[in-house]
Chain A
Amino acid sequence: NAGVMQNPRHLVRRRGQEARLRCSPMKGHSHVYWYRQLPEEGLKFMVYLQKENIIDESGMPKERFSAEFPKEGPSILRIQQVVRGDSAAYFCASSPDRGAYEQYFGPGTRLTVT
């Protein structure tokens, strides 16, 4: 049973470019969460999605960031016009249902903006 998969594992973008991060949840999981982690910090919640719906985006910056979880395919976190401050590790987690508090994490995507 494959775990949560994220790709790419490392992504380097120049300022102003777009970054697309992908997350495939565990088989049977329809709930996806995105987190951002800065060095020496804990995880900061960004957005929670269910298939085709954004449930909670209270942690998402208002501009340049968007997320989707289409009916088919992985969840995508998109960052437009990246800036140096976007450099961080982005983690995706999944759970089988809304009431399941335990989340299964992917290995993360490390974004570096040069």
Chain B
Amino acid sequence: SQQGEEDPQALSIQEGENATMNCSYKTSINNLQWYRQNSGRGLVHLILIRSNEREKHSGRLRVTLDTSKKSSSLLITASRAADTASYFCATDSGGSYIPTFGRGTSLIVHP
């Protein structure tokens, strides 16, 4: 079964707007990661946030983690057409270092 589930499944916005994607999971985690996948390509690692962290930034990306709600959000500010991709959250828990991926959010940024 999926550990992380992204929401929404699809998001369509205009260039310059902010995009927010959410990820919910069921069991306690060690780490949560966000990846991007461009069409027909492999995944690219964006950010890793540990269970004892609440927020991390990387450029135009901001990730928050709320372990009490078992959820995380990925915010992309001032979106660009090049941000068009699928975004996946992945969690690992217990003694496993192998991330479990959600189904992803498909983001389309219109120029």
Name A's B-contacting residues (CB within 8 A).
4, 33, 35, 40-45, 48, 56, 91, 93, 98-99, 101-108
Contacts and interface: CB of A to CB of B under 8 A. Distances in A.
B97 A42 contact: no
A44 B103 CA distance: 10
Contacts of B43: 43, 91, 93, 103, 105
A108 B41 contact: yes
Contacts of B102: 42
Contacts of A98: 97
Contact of B42 (A41, A48, A106): A106
Contact of B98 (A33, A42, A108): A33
A42 B48 CA distance: 18
Contacts of B99: 45, 101, 103
Interface residues of B, number: 21
Q: Please indicate which of the listed interface residues A42, A44, A45, A93 has the most CB atoms of chain B within 10 Å of its own CB.
A: A42
Interface of B: 2, 31, 33, 35, 40-45, 48, 88, 92, 97-104
A43 B99 CA distance: 10
B100 A103 contact: no
A101 B102 CA distance: 16
Contact of A101 (B33, B42, B104): B33
A108 B92 CA distance: 22
Contact of A45 (B48, B88, B100, B103): B100
A40 B104 CA distance: 8
B41 to A, nearest CB: 6
Sorted nearest first, the 9 A-B pairs with minimum C-beta distance are A105-B42, A42-B101, A105-B43, A43-B101, A42-B103, A107-B42, A102-B45, A42-B102, A106-B42
